[in-house]
Structure 1
Amino acid sequence: MPASSSRRTPPRAPGRAAGQPGRSRPDAPPRRARASARASRRGSGLTTRAAVLALVVCALALSLAYPLREYLGQRSEIAALRERTAQQEQRVAQLEADKARWQDPAYLRTQAEERLHRVPPGESHFVVKEPDRSTARQDTEEAAPRADERGERPWFGTLWESVEAADSGR
């Protein structure tokens, strides 16, 4: 190479002849044909590897879906059972406290006095009954004139007469 030349030529690849630029083998298709073939394979957007990977991911997702659902269902069931157990333990504690209270003679005496109207010896016991609301209603109903007094018959009397009339018509 001459020293005065500022342009350098790229070194040639082994096996290339000077008269055949761009071809490495005589039977190989031109570069443009190879590039267009590669582009057509990439143009489909889905390679075999991607399809296999998608299939494996779907298979894993489907195989894990049912056990995961069962696991989550069991966790919620366990939480419900724990809550129920805590409620039952509270109820047992309440019943044990009631049992201990009933073992106390003073509480027992108080309950007997309240519930059975028991009076200790030497004391007088008075029970005042307040008027019941149902008796107050009866008093107002008695004050109103009855259907017999007004000359009207009750509905069941009219019904019975129609049944008797139907029987006698045979």
Structure 2
Amino acid sequence: MFSVRALVFAIVVVMAFVLVYPTLNSYVRQQAQLADLNAQVEAAKARNDDLQADVDRWSDPAYVVAQARERLSFVLPGETPYRVVDPETVPDAPVTADGPSSVIDSESTKPWYTSVWESVAVAGKLPVDATSTDPATDPAKAPPTKDGKTAADDATDAPTTDAATPPTDG
């Protein structure tokens, strides 16, 4: 059935497969990696072209003016700014005796940098807390004096007078 030639041929084919498979497998993986890297390079070039187009747009003065108007709500001298309000997002204006009041309050018509500055000013102030006390007004929180007593100890040692009864001379 099997001849010696067929057996030798099968052994040679198996040996060739064992020797060539790792190299061929590496070649196929490297080709796939090369294709992925080429795709990444093309995507990076496309992104670079888009970014360069954005940079080129910023060199156009008309584009800069349009962006300042859109992003920062700038207006040119002599223009009247209008703010269009979506009626679905703005609550109904309360009706007063004179008629409906303004939907937009004075706070919302301020420029953005005014509200930022106000928040910086508010952040710089110390909070007024009802639970914190000043050592000058609370003798229990005052530091001890030279003789080791606190202002609270001095207050308990001092004679007390009732505000309802005036002190007597005598």
TM-score normalised over the length of structure 2: 0.50
CA pair 127-133 structure 1, distance change in 2 beyond 3 A? closer
CA distance in 1, matches of 2:28, 2:90: 57
Task: From the CA coordinates, give the structure whose radius of gyration is larger.
Answer: 1
User: Hey, what does 1:67 align to over in structure 2?
Assistant: 23
Match of 1:99 among 42, 55, 61: 55
TM-score normalised over the length of structure 1: 0.50
Listed one character per residue, the Cα deviations across residues 43-77 of structure 1 (whole Å, up to 9, x for unaligned) are: xx122232122111111112111211111111011
User: Hey, what does 1:88 align to over in structure 2?
Assistant: 44
Sequence identity (%): 35
Match of 2:86 among 113, 118, 130: 130
Q: CA deviation at 1:133?
A: 4.4
CA distance in 1, matches of 2:12, 2:91: 83
Q: CA deviation at 1:130?
A: 1.3
Q: Which amino acid aligns with 2:34?
A: I
Q: CA deviation at 1:134?
A: 8.4
Q: Which amino acid aligns with 1:60?
A: A
User: Hey, what does 1:55 align to over in structure 2?
Assistant: 11
CA distance in 2, matches of 1:120, 1:101: 21
CA distance in 1, matches of 2:77, 2:38: 52
CA distance in 2, matches of 1:99, 1:126: 30
User: Hey, what does 1:116 align to over in structure 2?
Assistant: 72
Higher normalized contact order (CA 8 Å, seq sep 6+, divided by chain length): 2
Q: Which amino acid aligns with 1:48?
A: V
Listed one character per residue, the Cα deviations across residues 4-54 of structure 1 (whole Å, up to 9, x for unaligned) are: xxxxxxxxxxxxxxxxxxxxxxxxxxxxxxxxxxxxxxxxx1222321221
Listed as ranges, the gaps of 5+ residues in structure 1 are: 1-44, 137-170
CA distance in 2, matches of 1:117, 1:98: 21
SS at match of 2:76: coil
User: Hey, what does 1:46 align to over in structure 2?
Assistant: 2
Q: Which amino acid aligns with 1:129?
A: V
Say whether residues 1:79 and 2:35 are aligned partners: yes
- After the TM superposition, which parts of structure 1 deviate over 6 Å for at least 4 consecutive aligned residues? none
SS at match of 2:45: helix
